[in-house]
Amino acid sequence: MGLFGRRKTVFVDADILVIGGGMAGCGATYESRYWGRDLKIVCVEKANIERSGAVAQGLYAINCYMGMQWGENQPEDHVRYARNDLMGLVREDLGYDIARHVDSTVHKLEEWGLPIMRDPKTGRYQREGKWQIMIHGESYKPIVAEAARKAATEVYNRIMVTHLLMDAKQANRVAGAVGFNVRTGDFHVFRAKAVIVCAGGASHIFKPRSVGEGMGRTWYAPWSSASAYALPIQVGAKMTQMENRIVLTRFKDGYGPVGAYFLHLKTYTQNGYGEEYEKRWYEDTKALVGDYIDRHPVPTCLRNHAILREVAAGRGPIRMVTKEAFQDPHKETVGWENFLGMTIGQAVVWASQNIDPKHINPELTTSEPYVMGSHATCSGAWASGPEDYAPAEYQWGYNRMMTVDGLFGAGDTIGGTAHKFSSGSFTEGRIAGKAAVKYVKDMKNGQPQVSEQEYRDLEKLIYQPLENYRIGRNEIVAGTVSPSYLLPIHGLQRLEKIMDEYVGGISTNYMTNGVLLERGLELLAMLKEDMSHMGAEDLHSLQRTWELHHRLLASESVTHHTLFREETRWPGYYYRGDHMKLDDENWHCFTLSRYDRNTGKWEMEKAPVYHIVD
């Protein structure tokens, strides 16, 4: 124990442990308290819930609101929309479940102080598009966090959770989690009856377009480090649709969002010569995906596809035509404010590059791929569905429980349910929280047991990189390259390069094939071997090290899934060069994986897609 003698071990007992206090985590914490008045509800967050997660900077729109009170949309409409956008493959039971509850979440947010814009004529919420409503959302996250703070028994900020703990007595049952305080270094052991993972999506898996001094400027939050996937994967939870990474068309260099521009400002795109180009690629796309190209709205991936083809044909760059809309002072204001409350970096990039969108049509580009379950893709854990709506095959207990007992998830964590966004993620957190309370209450005295051996072994493993650095550092007199250890930034860049070149990143124009994927897996395995030689010079580097572990495991999962699905289901997100067409006959299904931490092996299988909504 000498090595860790100065470090405290902090034990926390909880009924429900919520990991990650972003949108879903705050929803889970809030709702757990509503149903579990007498329970101990603990939320643990690696940053500070006040400003953490993908909504940290604020948002300008809530992208998932039905408007049922005004008869605008019904939950079934949203299921059809998400299914269409995902080229037919969504968990309709889970999507429906969110859609039927999401309006009540939005009404709560307004009650708690979130300013939602209203249409002066109708008095209804101001629509940006069919599903989006506009907000003054700079303080969106603090408002949501306040509700979670008041609901939680305790919130632990600045704790990076690295591993889940399993029940010593009953196989396949979760028992808690461990992590460390990124400021003090204290080791935390959380013992819990139910755990809800809400740890966000994954950026920096693929090499980003912004490198060097700009590498922190990615579209998805740079601190979304794949814990949402790695934590369940490590303990053998089944994952689904991990191949379904997302590529975003965004303003170049700042990743500024385009939704308000297209939907509210009614801007449109042109190629470098000022021509319309989407129609030109209609036949080409139809040959790949059949009549999915005729669906309305055109699936997001297929719009990317037209951009990629047009640029590859030598007619780039693609530009957003803003010059017309920006002549209207109201639209000009909306255009700028859209960034100021959400992606201020885009405004700074334009200022620094002499781009005034009133006079210059700004460039768009496609981003590097991200892995996430709440936006226009649906990677994540395979979860049990709602009792009243899910087909029997999708139900094995409690709503949003994964294939590990007592382990729940929400938001980016849960797979198969695209287009939840901020409001849907909070709503799914609420659904998971309610189900977790039921799980805990049903458990009575059979609570899980944590093994001291397990968490002490993990403690040693977690802090080892500090020790590797302390000893290895003596072998070099300057610089960062050591014969004995690998720094997290080196490992991260190696991971991003492998994923980029072998698994369909920007440098191959999102193209991969079976041969590349097999080689990618070999290189990922070599990186995994080297992970025991990570060196961390301080607690910050230690956090980076564990983020890298999580990103690496999620990347392995993405690669296995991409290899397994022998078709190109989402052209514009990625291409299997050896299976260039969508193949509904063989692949109108979900892909599932399960990782065995004892053998390091992955098992893949297919699961049926049930179309519940006509």
Does 407 help bind ligand FAD (rule: CB under 6 A)? no
Smallest gap from Cβ 13 to ligand FAD, in A, equals: 18
Question: Of 14, 16, 19, 418, which one interacts with ligand FAD (CB under 6 A)?
Answer: 19
Residues 69, 468 contacting (CB under 8 angstroms): no
Give the tokens for residue 170.
Answer: 């009953």
Q: CB count, 10 Å around CB of 541?
A: 18
Q: Are 192 and 176 in contact (CB under 8 A)?
A: yes
**Is residue 341 within 8 Å of 59, Cβ to Cβ?**
yes
Contact with ligand FAD (CB under 6 A) among 12, 14, 22, 346: 22
Question: From the list 33, 40, 46, 245, which residue makes contact with ligand FAD (rule: CB under 6 A)?
Answer: 46
Do the beta carbons of residue 204 and residue 491 sit within 8 Å? no
CA distance 140 to 59: 7
Identify which of residues 379 and 384 has a Cβ nearer to ligand FAD in the complex: 379
CB of 365 to ligand FAD, least distance (A): 15
Q: Is 24 in the site for ligand FAD (CB under 6 A)?
A: yes
Q: Mask: binding to ligand FAD, 222-241, rule CB under 6 A, as x and -?
A: -xxx-x--------------
Sign of the CA dihedral with 371 first, then 376, 377, and 383 last: positive
State which of residues 125, 180, 190, 220 lies at the interface with ligand FAD (CB under 6 A). Answer: 220
CB of 126 to ligand FAD, least distance (A): 14
Instruction: Tell the smallest beta-carbon distance from residue 54 to ligand FAD (Å).
Output: 3
AA identity, residue 56? A
Number of residues that bind ligand FAD (CB under 6 A): 42
Q: How far apart are CA 23 and CA 424, in angstroms?
A: 9
- Tell me which residues in 137-196 interact with ligand FAD (CB under 6 A): 160-161
Residue nearest to ligand FAD (CB): 22
What are the backbone dihedrals phi and psi of residue 141, each rounded to the nearest 5 degrees, phi first? -65, -45
Can you tell me the distance from the alpha carbon of 56 to that of 140, in angstroms, rounded to the nearest whole number? Answer: 8
Query: Which 8-state DSSP code applies to residue 164?
Result: E
Rank residues 198 and 301 by Cβ distance to ligand FAD and give the closer one: 198
Question: Closest distance between ligand FAD and the C-beta of residue 529, in Å?
Answer: 23
Phi first, then psi, for residue 89 (nearest 5°) are -110, 95
Q: How far is the CB of 80 from ligand FAD (least distance, A)?
A: 19
Q: Of 421, 455, 469, 502, which lies in the binding site for ligand FAD, with binding defined by CB under 6 A?
A: 421
Q: How far is the CB of 44 from ligand FAD (least distance, A)?
A: 6
Q: Determine the interface stretch with ligand FAD among 345-353, 415-423, 445-453, 460-468 (rule: CB under 6 A).
A: 415-423
Contact residues for 109 (Cβ-Cβ < 8 A; gap 6+): 62, 116, 140, 143, 144, 423, 426
Q: Nearest distance from residue 368's CB to ligand FAD, in Å? A: 13
Instruction: Candidates 210, 403, 423, 545: give the one binding ligand FAD (CB under 6 A).
Output: 423
Query: Candidates 50-58, 116-124, 261-269, 513-521 — which segment interacts with ligand FAD by CB under 6 A?
Result: 50-58
Q: Among residues 239 and 563, whose Cβ is nearest to ligand FAD? A: 239
Which residues ranging from 51 to 70 are in contact with ligand FAD (CB under 6 A)? 52-55, 59-63
CA 589-103-106 angle, to 5 degrees, is 115
3-state secondary structure of 458: helix
Contact call for residue 338 and ligand FAD (CB under 6 A) = no
Q: CA–CA separation, 515 vs 578, rounded Å?
A: 9
For the record, the structure tokens of 292 come out as 């999915």
d(CA 335, CA 260): 8
For the stretch 85-98, what's the b/e string if a residue is b when 16 or more beta carbons lie within 10 angstroms of its beta carbon?
Answer: bbbbbbbbbbbbbb
Q: Which residues of the chain form contacts with ligand FAD (CB under 6 A)?
A: 19-25, 44-47, 52-55, 59-63, 160-161, 198-200, 219-221, 223-225, 227, 257, 343, 374-375, 411-412, 421-423, 425
